[in-house]
Amino acid sequence: MANHDIDITVARGTVHALVGENGAGKSTLMKILYGMQKPDEGTIAVDGEQVSFSNPGDAIARGIGMVHQHFMLADYLTVLENVVLGSEKLYGIGDRARAKIKEISDAYGLGIRPDVHVEDLGVADRQRVEILKVLYRGARTLILDEPTAVLVPQEVDALFDNLRELKAEGLTVIFISHKLGEVLSVADDITVIRRGTTVGTADPASTTPKQLAELMVGSELPSPETRESTVTDVPMLQVKEVRLTATDPDGVVRAVLDSIDFTIHKGEVLGIAGVEGNGQSELVEAIMGMRHLDTGVLTLDGQDISQTPTRKRREDGIGVIPEDRHRHGLLLEAPLWENRILGHVTEKPNSRGAFLDLKAARADTERIVREYDVRTPGIDVTAASLSGGNQQKLIVGREMSHNPKLLIAAHPTRGVDVGAQAQIWDQIREARREGLAVLLISADLDELIGLSDTLRVMYRGRLVADADPATITPEELGSAMTGAASGHLEVPAETAETVETSESGDGSDDPRDGGEDR
Amino acid sequence: MKKIDKERVLLGLAAPLLAIVVAFLVTAVVLLATGKEPFNAFGIMFDYGSKADSQVYILNKATTYYLAGLAVALGFRMNLFNIGVDGQYRLAAFFAAALGGALTLPGAIQIPLIILCAMIVGAMWAGIAGVLKVTRGVSEVVSTIMLNAIATAIIGYLLQTGRLGHLDTAGTKISTKPIPESSHFFEFPTATGPVWGFIVVAALAGVAYWFTLSRTRFGFDLRTVGQSGSAAEASGVNVKKMVVTSMLISGAVAGLVGMPTLLNDSYEYSGDFPVGIGFTGIAIALLGRNHPIGIALGAILWAFLERGSGQLEFQGYDKEIVGVIQGVIVLCVVIAYEVVRRYGLKRQQRQVGAKLAAQARNSEKQEVSA
């Protein structure tokens, strides 16, 4: 929605980055280029020839391929099967296809093993499969939507090596991101989009992240750093020896959480780092009461809540910014004011006794929309019609409106524009000053390091390492996240120095994790 | 905001109207294919259906259909497909009739007792499906359709002399013992026949349905589960409990479906007690978009079509043609709703986008001028 006057020219054999806040219209533009949406006016030309795409098939036929932010792979099929799926006519489904995959993989250094099941692959490998899928279909121009969102720093470097390889072979890459540091390191050209229109281009060689950021938002960029400590010694949430098992599709029972043990005090932000899928979601669900613990005790503000139902826990002061807001935080086809009630239907101002108080709930929705700057024409539109960032602001506003004792913030600024991000960070900091305990889970390492008072690393359902956010670097944290390091992470002296300079210099180029279309 | 609301109403009406128009067009084609003149047939139906005695018939039929539609709609709002309304109302009516025939209490006590009995039986029968779903993961579609068959068998077994059955004086028909006159439900007499008093209960049920769903915490939780099970769970709704509870309520309303017939018309349960109304209820709930007023309109339309079908036969048409109309309407409704829903959603997103872009432009201008 709301794209106008977009002018962009991408030269062959380059990596062209498209940056902009979330909701700026990057994804819409990409959808238009990939034939998923039709422009109301304007033209697209490929190799000087004007084209019109009515579906992705047309785009693929023109050599344009897209790697989506959320992988579109079938877990139980092999890499080969995933690649040929839907393109069986190209090279068959047997040895010819396998040979072709090998050929592409070798040509661009992708290191693909065609006969492995996708479920056994890590995130970075899956991404390479997605890239290969696109190349297999003959794409000469690749669109990558937020490709680094799910990767740890080391994997990002590997991805960039792949991109340079592709470029060297004469392919064109359009790279969507709002992680400015990454953009500057890999792109040859940069186009900035703001409020649905192109506002300028930048030359990566002569642009600083700060300049780029200002171009992007039209103002200065915030940083997630927390200066003064507000940690008290009053425990708010105590998690003791928590163990949770789940039965996987093969019927094998395995522990998804094991020996989880931590305490969050009033006024403390505990950050959990980890590659997604290592038990973070399960931990959140366990604390919310959506999963029953096998063993272990949860104590909130001195009270044992291990057996308390979810609703009571939420009434007792657990606020949640869920990881997947569409699944757990919103009713997409319901109006905003009903979404304001969601999760707090038993609390004021939403209800009196057994009855809803529509007037008060609507009035309070208006207040949240105003105070949290939710950009919407009104409170009767459906949640689905808002951009991701505005949906998130509504959720944050809702959760904060009930004065939580504990806030579970899972990727609180994912898919949120820079302005809103600063606001959400401010909200967390302010509430923390007033004694809020926060469990912060984020894939954005700078956010984690910047906001947290204490850091833990989660790996395969266990808390394997802890770190001091004042001294740790994203790289160190990244290697602990892949299981390469454990225990207390000490940083060698010279690295610590770099951290300090980068902190005082530009706290602005935080790679942010994103995805406005979630 | 007013504007969007008006549009929502328009969009809401667009789907059923579109569906009905298309259904009549399709039916016209079918009639033409069978070598009959279509518009004359529609004329006959309309003339006959709007006569005074037809109006009474339609209202009485619609009362029953309305309750069936509500029972199904309650499930729909929960994302549950209660196909078992059919078995639930028959079993409920049967036991209520048996109870009513066995007692001779004053009407003021006995009538509520009969109704209560029907609601409890309906609720219990539906509850089986609810419990099976949450404990064993059995789809309610499968279990309720099985329970329909079992209900038929149970009624067949019990409706025999020596059990709950009763042979009438002519010795030709087995039914439950007739309910004493003191326990007949009141009627509104009109020149062309009585309008069943149960229409009042049906209307009250409609109001209760609307109020519970849109004005109570419970209703909010119920709708939340219907819209997104995962969001409901995260918001603190006990989804399993909600599944059982809503099945119980749906079943209790289903228990009411047989009551207009039992207390205003037949006063006994026999082999010719109306069957299949549960399935009619599904069509009507779909037609009425699960909205209490929409369901009422759907129920009236359904009764109207049925009334017209009888007359068609006399005029040399096949009365099955009405079945075709009804079937096509349901099919069209399902398609039209989805089309209109997607269109509405897209349109709203575009409007929000346009509005925000306009806001952004305005604020930029202000910044410049300031």
CATH number at residue B176: 1.10.3470
Give contacts of A 355-374 with B, CB under 8 A.
Answer: 355-356, 358
Q: If you average pLDDT over residues A133-148, what whole number do you get?
A: 86
Indicate the pLDDT class of residue A516, thresholds 50, 70 and 90.
very low
On chain B, the residues whose CB falls within 8 A of the CB of A358 are 215
Q: Which contacts (CB < 8 Å, 24+ apart) does range A85-94 have? A: A87/A136, A87/A137, A90/A136, A90/A137, A90/A138, A91/A136
Least confident among A142-146, A471-475, A514-518, B364-368: A514-518
Residue B248 lies in a domain: yes
Residues A349 and A305 in one domain: no
Q: If you average pLDDT over residues A182-210, what whole number do you get?
A: 80
Q: Tell me if the bond preceding A469 is cis, omega within 30° of 0.
A: no
- Return the pLDDT at A504: 36
A335, A367, A402 - which closes a domain: A402
Residue A1 lies in a domain: no
Residues A241 and A260 in one domain: yes
CA distances from B254 to A8, B132, B318 (A): 61, 19, 32
**Top-confidence residue, B145 or B326:** B145
Which helix (H) or strand (E) segment holds residue A228: the answer is none
- Return the pLDDT at A225: 59
Residue A92 lies in a domain: yes
- Return the pLDDT at A117: 87
**Shortest Cα distance from B224 to chain A (angstroms)?**
7
Residue A224 lies in a domain: no
On chain B, the residues whose CB falls within 8 A of the CB of A380 are 1, 4-5
Residues A309 and A331 in one domain: no
Residues A306 and A448 in one domain: yes
With 70 as the cut, is the pLDDT of residue A495 above it?
A: no
- Return the pLDDT at A373: 83
With 60 as the cut, is the pLDDT of residue A9 above it?
A: yes
Residue B326 lies in a domain: no
Residue A499 lies in a domain: yes
Residue-wise pLDDT tens digits, B70-117? 999 999 999 999 999 999 999 999 999 999 999 888 989 999 999 999
User: Residue B20 region, left (φ>0) first, then alpha (ψ -120 to 50), else beta?
Assistant: alpha
> CATH no. for residue A244?
3.40.50.300
Distance CA A52, CA A344 (A): 48
With 50 as the cut, is the pLDDT of residue A73 above it?
A: yes
Residues A454 and A499 in one domain: yes
With 50 as the cut, is the pLDDT of residue A499 above it?
A: no
Interchain proximity B349–A196, CB inside 8 Å: no
Is residue A109 within 8 A of residue A139, CB to CB? The reply is no
Residues A29 and A72 in one domain: yes
Residue B73 lies in a domain: yes
Nearest-by-CA chain B residue for A343: B235
On chain B, the residues whose CB falls within 8 A of the CB of A386 are 352
B358 and A CB contact within 8 Å: no
**Shortest Cα distance from A105 to chain B (angstroms)?**
39
Residue B342 lies in a domain: no
Indicate the pLDDT class of residue A226, thresholds 50, 70 and 90.
low
Residues A409 and A398 in one domain: no
Interchain proximity B357–A196, CB inside 8 Å: yes
A402, A437, A459 - which closes a domain: A402
Could you list the residue range(s) of the whole structural domain that residue A477 is in? Answer: 232-317+403-518
Residue B304 lies in a domain: yes
B218 and A CB contact within 8 Å: yes
Which of A328, A352, A417 is most worth mutating to test chain B (most B CB atoms within 10 A of its CB)? A328
Residue B3 lies in a domain: no
Q: If you average pLDDT over residues B222-240, what whole number do you get?
A: 91
- Return the pLDDT at B252: 96
Q: Which of B223, B230, B356 sits opposite A375 (nearest CB)?
A: B356
Residue B31 lies in a domain: no
With 80 as the cut, is the pLDDT of residue A243 above it?
A: yes
Label the pairing between strands A462-467 and A487-489.
Answer: parallel
- Return the pLDDT at B93: 94
This prediction has a pTM of 0.75
Label the pairing between strands A454-459 and A269-273.
Answer: parallel
Indicate the pLDDT class of residue A241, thresholds 50, 70 and 90.
confident
**Top-confidence residue, A277 or B217:** B217
Indicate the pLDDT class of residue B141, thresholds 50, 70 and 90.
very high
**Shortest Cα distance from A380 to chain B (angstroms)?**
7
Tell me which amino acid residue A284 is.
Answer: V
Q: CA angle B94-B95-B98, nearest 5°?
A: 90
CA B266 to chain centre: 21
Residues A212 and A248 in one domain: no
Nearest-by-CA chain B residue for A316: B236
With 70 as the cut, is the pLDDT of residue B338 above it?
A: yes
Could you list the residue range(s) of the whole structural domain that residue B297 is in? Answer: 37-316
- Return the pLDDT at A207: 78
Residue bearing tokens 């794209």: A3
Residue B13 lies in a domain: no
With 60 as the cut, is the pLDDT of residue A465 above it?
A: yes
Split into its structural domains, chain B has a count of: 1
Residue A2 lies in a domain: no
Residue-wise pLDDT tens digits, B33-80? 888 888 888 888 888 888 888 899 999 999 999 999 999 999 999 999
Residue-wise pLDDT tens digits, A100-112? 888 888 888 888 8
**Interface ipTM:** 0.82
Is residue A184 within 8 A of residue A212, CB to CB? The reply is yes
Indicate the pLDDT class of residue B206, thresholds 50, 70 and 90.
very high
Residues A271 and A331 in one domain: no
- Return the pLDDT at B361: 65
Residues A137 and A206 in one domain: yes
Average pLDDT score, chain A = 80
Q: If you average pLDDT over residues A346-350, what whole number do you get?
A: 87
Give contacts of A 22-41 with B, CB under 8 A.
Answer: none
- Return the pLDDT at A501: 36
With 50 as the cut, is the pLDDT of residue A245 above it?
A: yes
Residue A118 lies in a domain: yes
With 90 as the cut, is the pLDDT of residue B202 above it?
A: yes
CA distances from A412 to A362, A371, A392, A518, B308 (A): 24, 18, 8, 13, 60
Residue-wise pLDDT tens digits, A301-320? 888 888 888 988 998 889 99
Residue A5 lies in a domain: no
Query: Nearest to residue B68, comparing CAs of B361, B304, B284?
Result: B284
Residues A202 and A254 in one domain: no
Least confident among A133-142, A145-154, A251-260, A265-274: A145-154
Residues A329 and A282 in one domain: no
- Return the pLDDT at B155: 93
Is residue A445 within 8 A of residue A478, CB to CB? The reply is yes
Indicate the pLDDT class of residue B256, thresholds 50, 70 and 90.
very high
A375, A402, A429 - which closes a domain: A402
Give contacts of A 260-289 with B, CB under 8 A.
Answer: 288-289
Split into its structural domains, chain A has a count of: 3
Interchain proximity A327–B351, CB inside 8 Å: no
